[in-house]
Amino acid sequence: MGKRGHYLEIIIKNFLGFWALFSGFLFPFIIFLILFYESRLAIKNFGIVKFLTTSTWDPVSQTFGGLTMIVGTLISTFIAVLIAAPVAIGIAIFITELAPSWLKGVITSAIELLAAIPSIIYGMWGFLILANFMRSYVEPFLQKIFSPFPLLGKLFSGPPTGIDVFTTSLVLSIMIIPFMASVVKDSFNLVPSVMKESAYSLGATKWEVIKDVVIPYTISGITGGLVLSTGRALGETMAVTFLAGNVAQIPSSLFYPFTTITVALANQFTEADTPLYLSSLFYLSLILFVLSFIILSFAKIMVLRLQKRWK
């Protein structure tokens, strides 16, 4: 047993170690290399700055610039996070501070189910149900309210079609609420109860404890949750493909159709007929990968910082 066990130990350790190295290092690195290699033609032709600032995407004249898609991705993600953030923080407050213990489990599971629904379901529901509802009721209503105001009115101008930036961002926001709420909830649970109790003993109300103790203490966790869901929203494909309208334009108001990096990939990968076209699509994937990797790393660092302090 002695010698055999020893050799087995070495073999097993190295075998497991290889897969650890694979999933933590080789896997992301290979993805980066492949995307970089495949997009070399587009990088050589259009460069970095030019690709990022050109809005022409024309397969006929073989000119490709990613600005329209990148702006579309950033706008829809930004609005989605803007809608989702207060809701997610509210849900986290409700679960950790307000709900009786039997309700806690129910609400937590329900919100988690929202995360489990496949993205294509959000897409078809948004496309067939929500978009109609938005077109007939919500969007005309918003236009009526906001049209007298000069700046806000412009934001809500345009034909209310339901297939636009507004509906896309709303559906995206529903999809990222669970991720945000779960991170924020976990960090709220890390607040030492001594800190909360000392605030209560000074006569603070529950809201004051949340506002002045819990939120300042967990600010890096909350930021982490926000940033994590930003990363999630960036790469969301199917729901956006159904709802964005796939019109290659930078939307001038919330009610215009637009396109994102993921929509362009989903729609055009199978039709790319020239090497330069395909390479430009890989270039877009590379940008998406690098962007979301950086954002998600930032989120991870923020959350780790809070956990470290707790330890």
Partner 1 sequence: MRIYRRKVINGVMLFISFLTALYGLFWLFWILGTLFVNGFRYLTLDLFLQDPTPPGIEGGGLRHAFVGHIIITSLATLIGIPIGVCAGIYYAEYGRNSKFFMALKNITDIMVSTPSIIMGAVMYALMVVPFKQFNALSGILALALLMVPVISVTTYEMLDLVPHTLREAAYALGAYKWQIIKDVTLRAAKFGILTGILLGVARISGETAPLLFTSFNNAYLSFDLFKPMATLTVTVFNYIMGPYDYWHKQAWAAALFLTLLVLVLSLLAKALLYFGTLNPFKWKEKR
Within 155-194, which residues bind partner 1 (CB under 8 A)?
174, 177-178, 181
The distance of closest approach from Cβ of residue 51 to partner 1 in the complex, given in angstroms and rounded to an integer, is: 17
Residues in 122-141 at the binding interface with partner 1, rule: CB under 8 A: 122-125, 127-129
d(CA 193, CA 191): 6
Nearer to partner 1, 198 or 252 (CB): 198
Closest CA to 248 of 65, 79, 46: 65
Residues in 200-239 at the binding interface with partner 1, rule: CB under 8 A: 205-208, 210-211, 228, 231-232, 234-238
Nearer to partner 1, 86 or 148 (CB): 86
The distance of closest approach from Cβ of residue 111 to partner 1 in the complex, given in angstroms and rounded to an integer, is: 5
The distance of closest approach from Cβ of residue 112 to partner 1 in the complex, given in angstroms and rounded to an integer, is: 7
Residues in 24-83 at the binding interface with partner 1, rule: CB under 8 A: 24-25, 27-28, 30-31, 34-35, 37-38
Where does this chain touch partner 1 (CB under 8 A) — which range of 160-168, 185-193, 194-202, 288-296?
A: 288-296
The distance of closest approach from Cβ of residue 150 to partner 1 in the complex, given in angstroms and rounded to an integer, is: 29
d(CA 30, CA 15): 19
Structure tokens at 148: 């007298």
Question: Is the Cα torsion angle 130, 133, 135, 140 positive or negative in sign?
Answer: negative
Where does this chain touch partner 1 (CB under 8 A) — which range of 47-55, 104-112, 139-147, 214-222?
A: 104-112
Nearer to partner 1, 153 or 248 (CB): 248
CB burial of residue 274 (10 Å; 0-12, 13-18, 19+): exposed
Where does this chain touch partner 1 (CB under 8 A) — which range of 42-50, 87-95, 148-156, 187-195?
A: 87-95
Closest CA to 38 of 254, 224, 229, 286: 286
Distance of CA 201 to the CA centre of its chain: 40
**Which one of 45, 71, 296, 310 is in contact with partner 1 (CB under 8 A)?**
296
The distance of closest approach from Cβ of residue 38 to partner 1 in the complex, given in angstroms and rounded to an integer, is: 5
- Contact between 99 and partner 1 (CB under 8 A)? yes
Residues in 266-285 at the binding interface with partner 1, rule: CB under 8 A: 266, 269-270, 281-282, 285
Nearer to partner 1, 109 or 252 (CB): 109
Nearer to partner 1, 49 or 116 (CB): 116
The distance of closest approach from Cβ of residue 212 to partner 1 in the complex, given in angstroms and rounded to an integer, is: 12
